[in-house]
Chains A and B, each alone.
Chain A
Amino acid sequence: MKWLYSFLIFTITFFSQAQELFVVSDPASNIPTNTLSLRMANSFMELVNSNKYNYNLNPELTYGLNRNLMLRTTLFTSNREGSYTFTGAGFYAKYRFFSSDDLNSHFRLAAFGRYSFNTASVNQEAIEIMGMNTGFETGIVATKLIHKVALSSTVSFEKAFDNGSNVFPDYLGDNAINYTFSVGKLVYPKKYTSFKQTNINLMLEFVGQTINENGHSYLDVVPAIQFIINSQARIDLAYNKQIMSSVNRIAPNGILINFEYNFYNVIKKKRSETD
């Protein structure tokens, strides 16, 4: 754990220089109060030793309950089991407990928890409660934004349970430490002219896991390009590439495509419509 802490401090101090709306990880910042965000997260993952793909579609609804608390529900659907089916759902909450903001910069910390259930068969060693395992995850995220660059790092604990009648195998370690490190940079526009202008962000994320029981680990790199349209919608194009692994995984590499739309002031809008 000590090196993780040092890693966090290192990333915060040395890279000190949006940027933070990452594709895989979440920043410490939340979505605005009373904003509803709908995301369609698609992934096309190449099956190991096969030319077939797993297609996963995870529709996701996120709501800003207040300035510090954000809630999210995710549905997991996939063709992994042969036919395209609903396999489970996840519930996520993130609480921002520290903010130090200045003009064009901030440093923020948040704690999060996620519980997911899944009914699919357990067929890999890596633990993934975002679509593969029943289980929970809890952790802390630190995000630093300086002008057009954002840096973010997450450390979390994840534990898997049985997927209903599909038992989690005894010979696999059922808990792990996850870590992410993400960098994002706003590359366009150089100067803003209006809300309608499309923003382009480039991102690079490192996503890793270590199974606590045996130390088996993997590390992925995820380069991404992101388009923010009309200051309201978002399209992410990314590629998930495993760069090292001693963990058995069924489909570590693949394309990620997210579509997201934000509805601001959802509840007030309804009120004024009925007025």
Chain B
Amino acid sequence: MKNILIILITLFFTTQSNAQIVKAEIIATGLTCSMCSNAINKQLKSLPEVASVETDLNTNTFTVTMRPNTNISPKVFKDNVEKAGFFVGSLVLYVDLDALENYINIEKKELTAINKLQIQILDKGFVTDKEFKKLTKKYKNSETYLSNNEEDFHFKVIN
């Protein structure tokens, strides 16, 4: 009960429009060369909010650790991967619950943890084109999902 109260109070008083993202795991698509990965690596590292980037070149996974208390929109990750000439195939964020007020919990799964929730962003441009087509069918009853508004982020809880 106490926990729920705390969550409610925190949600109520959070005014930041962007989530406090602790860490992001980005899988980039459309590349297999290390020079291409390096382009994304350098692009992400150039962001002032980013503390470090670790790259798995075999899976093209970029683990981005953010500086403490930084607000960043998931769109920033997408834009920077695209600037390097590639696309986001998957974006998993490690966020605190109080930062999710503007995000849409599309599967409405109960959020049990408060810290370091692991969520995947499901909007267009954050999953592969094939995946997006599947999701469009799956979430055909969600008006916000189908509207493709760039400011709305839909997520599902992974952990």
Contacts and interface: CB of A to CB of B under 8 A. Distances in A.
Interface of A: 18-19, 21, 29-35, 64, 66-67, 99-106, 145, 147-148, 186, 191-195, 197, 199, 228, 231-232, 234, 262, 264-265, 268
Given A67-B85, A268-B46, A197 B128 contact: no
A264 B37 CA distance: 12
Nearest to B36: A18
B30 A102 contact: yes
Interface centre among B29, B39, B82, B129 (most CB of A within 10 A): B39
B32 to A, nearest CB: 5
Interface string B1-45: 000000000000000000000000001011111111111011100
B55 A195 contact: yes
A101 B29 contact: yes
B43 A231 contact: no
Given A104-B60, A195-B38, A19 B32 contact: yes
A195 B55 CA distance: 9
A146 to B, nearest CB: 9
B108 interface: no
Contacts of B41: 195
Interface string B100-131: 00000000000000000000000000001110
A21 B43 CA distance: 20
Interface in B51-100: 55, 57-58, 60, 82-87, 89
Contact of A33 (B30, B55, B83): B83
B45 to A, nearest CB: 8
Given A18-B33, A103-B27, 11 more contacts: A18-B32, A21-B33, A31-B85, A32-B39, A34-B83, A67-B82, A99-B87, A106-B29, A195-B34, A199-B35, A228-B35
Which range contains the number of B residues in contact with the other chain? 20 to 34
Contacts of A99: 30, 87
A98 B6 CA distance: 49
Contacts of B130: 102
Contact of A197 (B31, B34, B86, B129): B34
A103 B29 contact: yes
Contacts of B32: 18-19, 104, 145, 147-148, 186
A21 B35 CA distance: 10
A218 B129 CA distance: 41
B67 to A, nearest CB: 15
Contacts of B57: 192-195
A36 B114 CA distance: 44
B80 to A, nearest CB: 9
Contacts of B46: 265, 268
Contact of B129 (A31, A100, A231, A232): A100
28 contacts: A18-B31, A19-B32, A19-B33, A30-B85, A31-B39, A31-B85, A32-B39, A99-B30, A101-B89, A101-B128, A101-B129, A102-B89, A102-B128, A102-B130, A103-B27, A105-B29, A145-B30, A148-B32, A192-B34, A194-B57, A195-B34, A195-B37, A228-B33, A228-B35, A231-B38, A232-B35, A264-B38, A265-B46
